[in-house]
Structure 1
């Protein structure tokens, strides 16, 4: 099954309305990355969970996935993402979640 796409919104000096969507732990998610995007994660659950940003092999060698623990009730902004370390062949960053229970995400370009 394909990954669920996260639409990226542009940040603006006059304000940006972010649209949070439910995390998809079963299929994973993805968003377009130019190197200026951040992933915002809200954990409304009563337990910690992990977000994994999947890295890719590059001329410098694979650096390993980026794994972030998001505490219960916490909100975090992750990024920006270096394109040659995290962009898949389709130009998108792949994101996996240990749980999707009460987890919402948004992607913002600075």
Structure 2
């Protein structure tokens, strides 16, 4: 899969306008993660909730970590995160190192933006 990169925004005292982009269904999205990032996911309409999965490529003591899922109902906005790098980052030396993947079950009217605090 070729995940689509999301730009990470940093809030300021003057405020920032979220750079909402359409969530990518086919290949999902990705962003550089330091452990201080949060996703803002908006489900602006449509007929179904948007279910987001955050794959966990790491293991703990050789045990697979269950991928968390978050359901965002129609007309709802949710902030998801943070993402501890030791659990969520793709490993160094692999594809998209130090990045987190975000996958969706559907993207009708779903937008996403990423913030670092």
Look up the match of 1:56.
57
Normalized against structure 1, the TM-score is what? 0.93
Structure 1 residue 22 displacement after superposition:
0.4
Moved over 4 A (4+): none
For this pair of structures, how many residues does the alignment match?
110
Residues 47 and 72 of structure 1 are in contact (CA less than 8 Å); yes or no, is this contact kept in structure 2? Answer: yes
Normalized against structure 2, the TM-score is what? 0.88
Residues 58 and 89 of structure 2 are in contact (CA less than 8 Å); yes or no, is this contact kept in structure 1? Answer: no
Q: Quick check: 1:109 aligned with 2:111? A: no
Residues 56 and 84 of structure 1 are in contact (CA less than 8 Å); yes or no, is this contact kept in structure 2? Answer: no
**Residues 32-66 of structure 1, C-alpha deviation per residue, up to 9 Å, x if partnerless?**
10000000100012321200001022344332111
Determine the C-alpha separation between the residues in 2 that align with 1:82 and 1:15.
25
Determine the C-alpha separation between the residues in 2 that align with 1:32 and 1:57.
16
The CA RMSD over aligned residues, in Å, is 1.2
Secondary structure of 1:73's match?
Answer: coil
Structure 1 residue 102 displacement after superposition:
0.6
